[in-house]
Amino acid sequence: MMVHRPNFAMEAAIVYAMKTPQVVIDIEMAKRAAAIRKVLMKKATRRNQSKINQRRYRAQQKCTTDLLNQTVIQLRTDVARMEGRLETMKLAIPPPLRTFEPECNVANEYFRMFVYGYNLDPACAQHTTQFDFLNSTMSPDLVIMGNVGLDKLLQQWVLYVNTFEAFHMELHQAHVVSFSPNVVVHAQTTLHLRISRKSIQLLFPHLLNNEPLTQKLIGRVLHLYSQQHFIFDHHGVVQELGTFVNTTLALVNLLGNLDDVLAVIGDFHLGENAEIVVVSTDD
């Protein structure tokens, strides 16, 4: 058998309600309703403000996008206009002038590299450098001293080094004198050549019986004024190397009197093209 216990809280509420006047109850209900309405209004206001903010953001985004699109279109128009102006300016500007610096550099480097002659020692680095320079800047079919081929130039360098006790090539100036149909560089130099008995044997063999004049020449320096021209092909390679030397003036300055000059120059084996002519002594 179950025993029902009294619910004192419920009974207290019923007693309170019975004792509370109706006006108080209505006021409480009104307060609660007002609070609920206030909460609902706040929620509605927030939703409305959120919608307004979203519309404003979308409007700003659209405005920004439209502005960017207009800017891109304007930039494309400006770029096209500038490219057109650039092409017009390119047509108006003349092509750069040819300086011929590469050809002048070749000539200047030639005189710098061979200022003291040609190194004949194949084991020496200088010999390799000089040989490689000639092969890279001179044509294999080089025209020189009435011959064709780089071997003639190398042969003459060997003769100069073996003929004179000392060799010094002094460059005074080098400049372009022609550019059509080929670039031509003209150079002015002085060859300082110290004479030895071997020099006399090779260049003045007829003086070997003239000991006084031979002694007058031994140890002296022949200052030989020289003009050289380098003719280049269209690839910047030397295809012709020409030389002119004033041997008569050099001998006059060396000996000082006409009789000795005439005696020496009668069978001088150095041509006006600076070629040392080797004469065979074989019968």
Are residue 135 and residue 76 in the same domain, yes or no? no
195 or 29: which leads in pLDDT: 195
Are residue 248 and residue 129 in the same domain, yes or no? yes
Instruction: Judge whether 227 and 244 are in contact, CB under 8 Å.
Output: yes
Are residue 85 and residue 164 in the same domain, yes or no? no
Task: Retrieve residue 86's tokens.
Answer: 């650039």
Measure Cα distances from 175 to 78, 113, 123, 192 in Å.
Answer: 48, 18, 35, 22
Are residue 78 and residue 50 in the same domain, yes or no? yes
279 or 272: which leads in pLDDT: 272
Indicate whether 33 belongs to any domain.
yes
Are residue 51 and residue 152 in the same domain, yes or no? no
Indicate whether 276 belongs to any domain.
no
Are residue 133 and residue 179 in the same domain, yes or no? yes
Q: What is the average pLDDT value for the chain, to the nearest integer? A: 87
Indicate whether 2 belongs to any domain.
no
Tens of pLDDT along 88-144? 777 777 666 677 899 999 999 999 999 999 999 999 999 999 999 999 999 999 999
- The CATH code of the domain that includes 188 is 3.10.450.50
Indicate whether 50 belongs to any domain.
yes
Are residue 84 and residue 140 in the same domain, yes or no? no
Instruction: Judge whether 148 and 142 are in contact, CB under 8 Å.
Output: yes
pLDDT at 163: 96
Q: Tell me the percentage of the chain whose pLDDT exceeds 90.
A: 57
Please report which confidence band the pLDDT of residue 36 belongs to, taking 50, 70 and 90 as the band edges. confident
Are residue 136 and residue 250 in the same domain, yes or no? yes
Given 31, 59, 92, which residue is the final one in a domain? 92
pLDDT at 20: 58
pLDDT at 283: 46
Indicate whether 3 belongs to any domain.
no
pLDDT at 57: 82
Indicate whether 121 belongs to any domain.
yes
Indicate whether 283 belongs to any domain.
no
pLDDT at 191: 97
pLDDT reading at 4 higher than 60: no
Total domains present in the chain: 2
Are residue 13 and residue 110 in the same domain, yes or no? no
Indicate whether 273 belongs to any domain.
no
Does this model's pTM top 0.85?
no
208 or 87: which leads in pLDDT: 208
- Which of 219, 223, 273, 226 shows the shortest CA–CA distance to 253? 223
Query: Which of 20-34, 100-114, 246-260 comes out lowest in average pLDDT?
Result: 20-34
User: Residue 200: which region, alpha, beta or left (left: phi > 0; alpha: psi -120 to 50)?
Assistant: alpha
Number of neighbours of residue 276 by Cβ within 10 angstroms: 19
Are residue 134 and residue 166 in the same domain, yes or no? yes
pLDDT reading at 78 higher than 70: yes
Domain hosting 44: range is: 8-92
Please give the torsion angle defined by the CA atoms of residues 13, 18, 23 and 24, in that order, rounded to the nearest 10 degrees.
-30
pLDDT reading at 80 higher than 60: yes
Site of tokens 């002048």:
104
Edge-to-edge strands, sheet with 147-148: 147-148, 138-144, 238-245, 221-232, 184-194, 166-178
pLDDT at 39: 80
pLDDT at 34: 79
d(CA 4, CA 60): 71
